Amino acid sequence: MSKLKRTNEEGLRYPSMDHLLKQIDSKYKLAYTAALRAKKLKETYNVEEDTYETTVEYKSSKPVGIALEEIQEGKIDIDFDK
Return per-residue pLDDT of the chain as tens, 82 residues.
Answer: 334 445 555 555 678 889 999 999 999 999 999 999 999 999 988 888 877 887 778 888 888 998 999 999 998 888 888 6
pLDDT for 46 equals: 82
Distances in Å between the Cα of 16 and the Cα atoms of 5, 20, 22, 23, 53 are: 23, 6, 10, 11, 23
For the chain, give every domain's residue range. 15-72
